[in-house]
Each structure stands twice: as structure tokens, then as C-alpha cells.
Amino acid sequence: MPGTVEDHFKTFNVDLWKYDGQAGALIPLLQSAQDTYGYISEKAIDYISHVTGIPAAEIYGVVTFYAQFRTKPLGKYVIKVCNGTACHVNGAKGIGDTITDELNLDYDETSDDGNFSMLSVACIGCCSLAPVIVINDETYGRLTPAKLRKILRTYKHRAKQQAKAEAGD
């Protein structure tokens, strides 16, 4: 049985729960929710509202105002495209465009089937491999659009297989 909202948030980053009534504290709370769950759910908004006394509608307004906050869960495969300087000068734009073309996905979006999300990140520390992407925990470097398409097709295939397995085929 689902418990109370508090039960649901047992793993919440408790350090940030020392809410002191300042409006500015709302942003770290929302960041904490997103770091913990990958997105800010309605339940998170309800709980933050419960803790802070800020009306949920007001919190929702803040969430939708800042592009950094997501209200939908991330996809099964999260593609982080490095847009740091080295990657930028080595073709990160073409890498992003290839993903958009291959998966019909833009930055900060999740595909309708819930399989892929695409995020832009700053330097991830392997500039010698630029341009670089990370899919979940796997890093891919020295990418070209052709190489990337192959990688993405492998993931598409994998996602399809998983969906089939989950459907019990």
C-alpha cells in the first residue's frame, strides 16, 4: 500500500529540509527533488508545499519557469552531449544534430516512448576524446555523425528488445 507523502520521500536529501522560510530555499529543495528522482513529480511538489507552506500552484509556476527543472521522468537511456569548449570546437553541434535527426529528440526532451532523453552538459573531463557523449554510464568519444548513428541504432535496437521482453514476447 502506498504510504504517506512523507514515506515516499524517505530518501529525500534531508540536509535541505532545514527550510527557514526564505523564498530562496525553494530552488535548492527543487534541485534536491530532481537530483533524487530525475524529475520533479506532482508528489514532490505536494510534499515541498506541505513542508514549506508555499501553495503547490506557486511551486509549479517556479518549476515551469526554470528550464533546468523537468516535470517528466528521464528516458531509459539518457544521452548527455558534451558541449564544453573542446567538444564544441570538435563538432558537438553536429553530434547534437545527429541525435535530433536519428531520434527525433531535442535537448531537454524525452522521446514519447520514454526510451531516450537528451541533455547538454559541460566538460566531462575527457577532452582528448572530443567530441564526446555519455549514454547512461557509457562514454563514447572521437565521434563522427556516422559513428554516432551506428551507436544510436544499437541502443534503439536494445530498447526494442527490452520492450518486447517486458511485454512477455
Complex with ligand FES: residue 61 or 125, whichever CB lies closer: 125
Coil/strand/helix, residue 30 = helix
CB of 96 to ligand FES, least distance (A): 12
Helical axes 42-52 vs 26-37, angle rounded to 10°: 150
Rounded to whole angstroms, the Cα distance separating 63 from 169 reads: 39
Complex with ligand FES: residue 44 or 132, whichever CB lies closer: 132
Contacts of 149 (CB under 8 A, 6+ apart): 98, 102
Amino acid at the residue 80: K
Q: Which residues bind ligand FES (CB under 6 A)?
A: 82, 84-87, 123-127, 130, 132
CB of 19 to ligand FES, least distance (A): 36
Complex with ligand FES: residue 26 or 123, whichever CB lies closer: 123
CB of 115 to ligand FES, least distance (A): 24
